[in-house]
Chain A
Amino acid sequence: MTQDAIQLDEVTLRYGQVKALDGISLTIPRGEVIGLLGHNGAGKTTTIKLLLGLLSPASGAVRVFDTDPAHSPRAHELRRQIGYLPENLSFYPQLSGRETLRYFARLKGASPQEQNRLLQEVGLSHAADRRVKTYSKGMRQRLGLAQALLNQPKLLILDEPTVGLDPVATRDLYNRIDILKQQGTTVILCSHVLAGIEEHIDRAVILAGGRILALGNLDELRHAAQLPMHIRVRGSLPEEGWMSRIGEQGVSLERINGSQYLFTTPESEKIPLLRTLVKEPGVKDIEISEPSLEAIYTFFSSQWRM
């Protein structure tokens, strides 16, 4: 038994003429929360379908908890341990929320108490006996989340889980991911909404055109991207002296108004610049903003297009 939840080794997959995945290699250790990012059609959902055994690769190997999800005789048992929220979620319109969850719970061997608890946790108790047909988009998404959490999965795969969720429900979801992580659950979070997920993921993998463009934790990605960071200074600076010192080190300065300045600096110059700034008597406040996940993502994506 390895410590890895998922191993993809040189995986390729085609849909007829379309090469959806082109040599993907990726190892995800148990208990990691990983963000799966990429443009529309990058191959995110296809990767997920491989992990679920819905597709099998044209070449390469897929292992989930050391099991081939598509062909192994143990695949059946594996599925008991995976929770999945599909991107285009739909349910049986004529069933109520409670009946829907009961059906899925029976198939997964989850207890009735768990069903009620989950309905409560996703905030659907009040509507549980209404038909799913009458649910709003977000309510359906909540129900989808409830079914994905049945049986306390060891691997949770969420394909665009926040679509349709209100801000409170979105925050609840992220909090839940944090809790699951503490319990050792491996989580794959596929999303286009990057703002807000960075504190909740350990690593991010960026796909483009069926290949891995970048992989790593946020610091590693920032480092690889070499994106400049912004330092906002409130107070006053002796202008001439600063302006002359800046250009050489790759640092630029923009004066926003009488008492605010914005420095843009490469990562390597951050600390030296801060040291100098702290010594300036006129400086009242310093605010550092590191490149966001969104900025990192945009950077890598623009590289791919070129």
Chain B
Amino acid sequence: MRTILIVAAKEFQDGVRNRWVAAISIMLALFAMGISYFGAAASGGVGFTSLSTTIVSLSSLAIFLIPLIALILAYDTIVGEEEQGTLILLLTYPLQRSQLMAGKFVGHAGIMALATLLGFASAGLMIAIFSPVVSMEELLSAYPLFVFSSILLGWIFIAMAYLISAVASEKSRATGLALAVWFLFVFVFDLALLGMLVATGGSVADELFSYLLLFNPTDIFRLLNLTSFEATRVQAGLVSIASDELMRPVVLIISMVFWIVIPYLLAVWRFKRRVV
């Protein structure tokens, strides 16, 4: 346990020192404020809109940005340290590979959580202060879940980045894989599902499609943030087909946790077998 914390502390300090935390927070805050203000431009005029519209826009932003940030933050955690030459020395220390990975995960997860919290909380504060339509109470009803699930989303993609990092033989391959994963879960998966929906002409049960959504963590995230708003289901595109059973937040949160644990365990398993 002590060992894990030593590694975690180093990883976290690196993140703070490299200005990762600051850069991510500021970027998220700026984008979030921009989107909340200009997000409704399509439906006429700029300015703050209802909370539901804001959350829908922010969710799209989070789905786009957070996986990308998490992957960039962590894709080289093993392969990068191997190429840098520090891994071999580290592994001769009294430190199991699983401990090394756990420590790094705690550190990266901390960086991601802190940055997301800082970025989105400051944006939330701005909305609460300047928006004439959204009150603080209303905001507090849905916004914390949004921030919390954004953090989970980040952790999911950190775990996936670890898997990439433990599998890839070179850093350049890890970069390619990370981009592929991002494209897959942010664009390709939904497009493929949509294509299937159109192709089958809706003859296949909606039920099946709603379960397929669980195979994409970004869709789970989207579902989770729309459950509280009946009205927004219309605006939410693909996820509007999800069955009510699936819409229960507990189910969705548990699914997200699975999406952290499984890639993480696979990464540890691969790392233990890796020849350095």
Instruction: Assess whether A304 is interfacial by the CB under 8 Å rule.
Output: no
B276 touches A103 (CB 8 A): no
Q: Could you say which of B71-79, B81-89, B163-171 contacts chain A? A: B81-89
Q: Known: A90-B84, A92-B86. Is A54-B92 also a contact (CB below 8 A)?
A: yes
Q: Known: A54-B276, A55-B275, A107-B3. Is A88-B85 also a contact (CB below 8 A)?
A: yes
Per-residue CB contact flags for chain B residues 249-276 toward chain A (1 = under 8 Å, else 0) read 0000000000000000000000000011
Instruction: Assess whether B91 is interfacial by the CB under 8 Å rule.
Output: yes
Instruction: Decide if the interface of chain A is mainly helix, strand, loop or mixed.
Output: loop
Q: Could you say which of A77-85, A114-122, A246-254 contacts chain B? A: A77-85
Per-residue CB contact flags for chain B residues 1-26 toward chain A (1 = under 8 Å, else 0) read 00100110010001001100000000
Chain B residues contacting A299 (CB-CB under 8 Å) are: none
Per-residue CB contact flags for chain B residues 89-105 toward chain A (1 = under 8 Å, else 0) read 11111111000000000
What is the CB-to-nearest-CB distance from B92 to chain A, in angstroms, rounded to a whole number? 5
What is the CB-to-nearest-CB distance from B175 to chain A, in angstroms, rounded to a whole number? 20
B86 touches A91 (CB 8 A): yes
Most interface-central of B91, B92, B276 (chain A CB within 10 A): B92
Interface size on B, residues (CB 8 A): 21
- Which of B18, B93, B275 has a CB less than 8 Å from the CB of A104? B93
Q: Known: A54-B276, A94-B17, A103-B6. Is A108-B84 also a contact (CB below 8 A)?
A: no
Instruction: Assess whether A39 is interfacial by the CB under 8 Å rule.
Output: no
Q: A108 vs B88: C-alpha distance in the bound complex, in angstroms?
A: 15
Chain A residues contacting B86 (CB-CB under 8 Å) are: 90-92
B85 touches A94 (CB 8 A): no
- What band does the interface of chain A fall in when counting residues whose beta carbon is under 8 Å from B? 20 to 34
Chain B residues contacting A53 (CB-CB under 8 Å) are: 92
- Which of B18, B94, B96, B275 has a CB less than 8 Å from the CB of A80? B94
Chain A residues contacting B89 (CB-CB under 8 Å) are: 84, 86, 89, 147
Interface residues of A in 60-93 (CB under 8 A from B): 76-77, 79-80, 82, 84, 86, 88-92
What is the CB-to-nearest-CB distance from A142 to chain B, in angstroms, rounded to a whole number? 15
Q: For A15, give the chain B residue with the smallest CB separation.
A: B275
A89 touches B92 (CB 8 A): no
Q: A91 vs B85: C-alpha distance in the bound complex, in angstroms?
A: 7
With A88-B85, A92-B14 given, can you name 7 additional A-B contacts, CB distance below 8 Å? A55-B275, A77-B94, A84-B89, A89-B85, A94-B14, A94-B17, A103-B10
Chain B residues with CB under 8 Å of chain A are: 3, 6-7, 10, 14, 17-18, 84-86, 88-96, 275-276
Can you pick out 10 interface pairs between chain A and chain B where the beta carbons lie within 8 Å of each other? A54-B276, A77-B94, A79-B92, A79-B94, A79-B95, A90-B84, A106-B6, A107-B90, A107-B93, A107-B95
